[in-house]
Structure 1
Amino acid sequence: MTGFDDYVRPYGLFDKIDAFGYLKDLREHSDMPRKQGRVLLVTADTPLKASRGEGKTTTTIALIDALRARGVDAAAVLRQPSMGITAAGSKGGASGGGKSSLTHPELVDWGLCGEMAAIESAQNLLVSFAEKAVDEGRLDTVLVPRVSEVPSRSLRQITVDRGKGDLPERTVLTPTCELMQIVVLSRSMEEIERRVAAMVAGTLDGRPVTFGEFVDLWRITGILTDAVKPAFTQTLEGSPVYVHGGPFANVSIGIPSLVSVEMACARHDVVVVEAGYGADAGAQKWLDIAAREYGAQWPAAAVVVTRATTWRDDPKLSWRYPFHVHRLEGLGIPTFPLINLWEGEDDQVDSLRQTADGLGFRKPIAGNLFRDGGKALEPQLDDLIKALQEPTNAQADTASLHDMSVPDRIRWIAESAYGVPADRVVEREGFQDSLQAASDLCSKAGISLEDLVVVAVKSPATMTDDDRADQDKRTVTLKKVEAHTGAGLLQVNLTTSLTTPMPKIV
């Protein structure tokens, strides 16, 4: 009988896993052993600054080390880092830190999985095909952007001098591009090929033209052969970790690939899934995109990470952390506040727990995970382990948003995830024109705009136009929309958002 090891191949100092093949055989062969692992979602407070992390990856690594020390078969699924925008790891390289680290973290930081480079090459090749199609008269505009792992402000909007007329183009970061979204959401190579074929390359006389109309797609899927395979690595304590896809929950979907999570759930009892940035970003997208729309597992429990300084040092922003915790609890997800202590903060624990008790939280889990690793958490996990063993309250996991219009879906997200009621969601001049243009493009391509899943594109450090405003004055501004027909997503830009942000200088 085929075993899991048959799907694993060496990849440098790590392994790569044919998750597509493994899951296909699990579906077709009932005699293959599989577990029914439960998802523990790790998210965070909204950071004070976009360039500063709260410690989700450090927490995730410490959690699986602690759970395994308590006898729980736990593994983690992490997103592949995008190092270009974090200024060589100044924010944190998505590989933990101190005693809560992965083995060979420098290799994880600098492209362990290989999908960043492969997806960049594949989408840029698609753009090159589109440019050639312009020369051949098959297109007169190019709509799919080039991508780059390293941001450059000068490339956000460019014009190509073709000698017989200028051709406007643009560049976005690799993790924000449509092809990355396709890899994260797809469950087979055939699905990736169908989705790439449905990508709108550009237009000809106003009619959208997809790549499937003029590109042999094996040229693209061949580049992605290794990029679609999750990488397998370990923590310093030997706990299993899968790394694959999906950084940047502020300007994309910000979740690991769905196949990597499904594969991990087939092999372990508890799978700790890290979602990008704060609960208003990555957690919102895991719940509303991965779970509601794509059938991923609804979390059995959640952990919301915060630094003590984020939670309490800016009184005008202190509402955000309780909002996140109570929102997840309100969805029937047992939610545990976790305070990621830094050096010199151990004496604040009693005070932090008193504040948490006054806010109606579950008993906070606290520790210096950089210094102490999973051992700091081991004695504090009784309630979390109990919650993971109880039946999931799945009251909200099947509620699709497709019955709403696109503007109503956006207002629903603003109210549920950001705390701004629908009547304070405002439209910037030009938003309706952008929405109509996206609707027309989809209609001409034979796609209903309403069938696309809304992805909020926003600042990672804010939930509203002004988080420091009084509660009854907070607003959310809708800026523009962009249809990703291959990924099946409709990106809606809110407040301050850039798909090619510049890194912090360190």
Structure 2
Amino acid sequence: MKTIDEFTMPYGVVDKIDAFGYLEELKKNPDAPRKHGKILLVTSDTPLKASRGEGKTTATIALIDALRERGIDAAAVLRQPSMGITAAGSKGGASGGGKSSLEHPELADWGLCGEMAAIENAQNLLASFAEKAVDDGLIDTVLVPRVSEVPSRMLRATVVDRGKANVPERTVLTPASELMQIVVLSRSMEEISERVGNMIAGTKDGKAVLFREFVDLWRITNILTDAVKPVKTQTQQGSPVYLHCGPFGNVSLGIPSLVSVEMACSLHDVVVVEAGYGADAGAQKWLDIACREYGAQWPSFAVIVTRATTWRDDPALQWRYPFHVKHLENLDIPTFPLINLWDGEDGEIPELREEAKELGFRTPIIGNLFRDGGEGIADQLDPLIDAIENHPMPSAVHSHKGMSLVENLRWTAEKAYGVPRERVIFKDGFTDSLLSAARLCKSAGFDITELALLAVKSPATMTDDDTAPADERTVTLKKVEPHTGAGVVQVNLTTSLTTPMPKIV
């Protein structure tokens, strides 16, 4: 059997790995030596502001450095950042910070690993094919949007002059694109090709027209040849890190590619997977889309990162962090609070530990991860290591395929956001949007109930108003958009923004 080294190639100062080829090699050689790593899911509290993270990437890097210091073969799988939204690394990113950062942070922060640009180019080429199909009379409406990584007010609404008629078109963020979702969820180039072919280009006389009906799909998959390969890099302390696919668990999947995680699990004993935004966003997508619908491994344990200020300083929002911890614990996922300190907060540690104890949390991990890195928390990991060594591998969870979309939404609102089904509200126009989406799917040969639910929501709120009393919180359903290629159906709720940002944050 070929080793992982034979599927690894230099890409500047980092490496890229043909994960598709390596996993196929493992499938052909089931008795070959390999590991079956457990997954540690890192998510966070719902941030007070969308533009201020809690430090998930910093925590993820500190955790693998600390675990390896304790003798555990741990690696991390991180998401690529959205370069424009993070102002090219000036806010957040996928590289951590301080002593808890990557060896070459600029490669991630500036998008130099290439996959964002390739996915952007490929989807924009699909949009161009759709525009040409209008000119050729194959379709009369364009439903596939263009994409952009660059913040721009001008791209939020465009109208194309076609001579005979002006046709409105859309631009969305690259991470929110259907093609990004396809790359995240696919396990082979053949699957990517099939899924791209199943994307809806537009309609003709009200019926869906798929790209496979008029596009040579190799033109798209060839653009993605390097983009589908995870990057292998390392932390400043030398711990292995794999970096692949897009952010934004609020408006898209917000998780690394499934193949990057599967590959890492075959190579390491513990794989730390970072999920975008809070436990109500990226972690919900990992559990209910990646695991429930796409066969990814259910987490053996989880860490929920918070800042002391997020957790404690706004009385109206203090319910959210304990809710997240309890939610994951109720799923039989041992969940460890990790409090990421700002400078000057070391004196609050005794009080934070006491509050965590009163709330019934497991022993919290507390440290200034930027300043101290993994060294600052290595001696606090005994309970986590005990879970790693003694908690069993989880079994598969049941799918929601076939459940009506509305019932699935009510289930998600109750489990992930703490809003009972009777307080899920339909905004005017939602029912029409749902019926229209169901008809569009049917005309394309798909059943909308077979698509995985992907909630599109605000990154900074779980409900319509998180400051409302518990018995008054609601979730409003607004719009439905099927992504038949990715196999998901997007439903907008609360506030959300999939278009390019109007400003750099």
Structure 2 partner of 1:348: 348
Structure 1 partner of 2:181: 181
Q: Is the 8 A contact 1:415 1:421 kept in 2?
A: yes
Structure 1 partner of 2:405: 406
Please say if 1:202 is aligned against 2:202: yes
Amino acid of the structure 1 residue aligned with 2:166 = D
| Equivalence map 1:278-297=2 (5 Å) | 278-297=278-297
Cα offset, 1:505, TM superposition: 4.9
Q: Is the 8 A contact 2:82 2:246 kept in 1?
A: no
Alpha-carbon distance in structure 1 between the residues aligned to 2:226 and 2:240? 20
Cα offset, 1:303, TM superposition: 0.2
> For residues 190-233 of structure 1, what are the alpha-carbon distances to aligned partners after superposition, in whole Å with 9 as ceiling and x for unaligned?
00000000001011111211000000000000000000000000
Cα offset, 1:33, TM superposition: 2.0
Cα offset, 1:129, TM superposition: 0.7
Please say if 1:87 is aligned against 2:87: yes
Structure 2 partner of 1:493: 492
Amino acid of the structure 1 residue aligned with 2:311 = W
Q: Is the 8 A contact 2:37 2:267 kept in 1?
A: yes
Q: Is the 8 A contact 2:248 2:254 kept in 1?
A: yes
Please say if 1:465 is aligned against 2:464: yes
Structure 2 partner of 1:76: 76
Amino acid of the structure 2 residue aligned with 1:154 = M
Structure 2 partner of 1:376: 376
| Equivalence map 1:96-495=2 (5 Å) | 96-392=96-392, 394=394, 397-495=396-494
Aligned residues: 505
- Bigger shift: 224-233 or 113-122? 113-122
Cα offset, 1:132, TM superposition: 0.7
Amino acid of the structure 1 residue aligned with 2:167 = L
Alpha-carbon distance in structure 2 between the residues aligned to 1:453 and 1:151? 29
Structure 1 partner of 2:38: 38
Q: Is the 8 A contact 1:2 1:32 kept in 2?
A: no
- Bigger shift: 15-24 or 156-165? 156-165
Alpha-carbon distance in structure 1 between the residues aligned to 2:239 and 2:227? 23
Q: Is the 8 A contact 1:86 1:503 kept in 2?
A: no
* Structure 2 gaps, min length 5: none
Amino acid of the structure 2 residue aligned with 1:454 = L
Alpha-carbon distance in structure 1 between the residues aligned to 2:402 and 2:329? 25
Cα offset, 1:400, TM superposition: 1.5
Alpha-carbon distance in structure 2 between the residues aligned to 1:501 and 1:380? 41
> For residues 286-306 of structure 1, what are the alpha-carbon distances to aligned partners after superposition, in whole Å with 9 as ceiling and x for unaligned?
000011111101101000000
Q: Is the 8 A contact 1:39 1:273 kept in 2?
A: yes
Find the residue that maps to 2:477 and give its secondary structure.
strand
Find the residue that maps to 1:279 and give its secondary structure.
coil
Alpha-carbon distance in structure 1 between the residues aligned to 2:419 and 2:343? 36
TM-score by length of 1: 0.98
* Structure 1 gaps, min length 5: none
TM-score by length of 2: 0.98
Structure 2 partner of 1:59: 59
Find the residue that maps to 2:107 and give its secondary structure.
helix
Amino acid of the structure 2 residue aligned with 1:442 = C
Amino acid of the structure 2 residue aligned with 1:52 = R
Amino acid of the structure 1 residue aligned with 2:92 = G
Cα offset, 1:393, TM superposition: 6.8
Alpha-carbon distance in structure 1 between the residues aligned to 2:38 and 2:189? 26
Cα offset, 1:124, TM superposition: 0.4
Amino acid of the structure 1 residue aligned with 2:127 = V
Alpha-carbon distance in structure 2 between the residues aligned to 1:415 and 1:31? 43
Alpha-carbon distance in structure 2 between the residues aligned to 1:252 and 1:278? 13
Q: Is the 8 A contact 1:232 1:242 kept in 2?
A: yes
Distance change (3 Å), C-alpha of 1:215 and 1:264? same
Alpha-carbon distance in structure 2 between the residues aligned to 1:155 and 1:298? 38
Cα offset, 1:263, TM superposition: 0.1
Cα offset, 1:31, TM superposition: 4.2
Find the residue that maps to 1:295 and give its secondary structure.
coil
RMSD between aligned residues: 1.1
Amino acid of the structure 1 residue aligned with 2:491 = V
Q: Is the 8 A contact 1:112 1:231 kept in 2?
A: no
Amino acid of the structure 1 residue aligned with 2:332 = G
Amino acid of the structure 1 residue aligned with 2:482 = A
Find the residue that maps to 2:280 and give its secondary structure.
helix
Find the residue that maps to 2:356 and give its secondary structure.
helix
Alpha-carbon distance in structure 1 between the residues aligned to 2:326 and 2:480? 30
Q: Is the 8 A contact 1:152 1:500 kept in 2?
A: no
Find the residue that maps to 1:58 and give its secondary structure.
helix
Alpha-carbon distance in structure 2 between the residues aligned to 1:102 and 1:416? 35
Q: Is the 8 A contact 1:84 1:503 kept in 2?
A: no
Structure 2 partner of 1:12: 12
Q: Is the 8 A contact 1:87 1:503 kept in 2?
A: no
Cα offset, 1:156, TM superposition: 2.4
Cα offset, 1:391, TM superposition: 3.6
Find the residue that maps to 1:280 and give its secondary structure.
coil
Identical positions, percent = 73
Cα offset, 1:165, TM superposition: 1.3
Alpha-carbon distance in structure 1 between the residues aligned to 2:344 and 2:504? 26
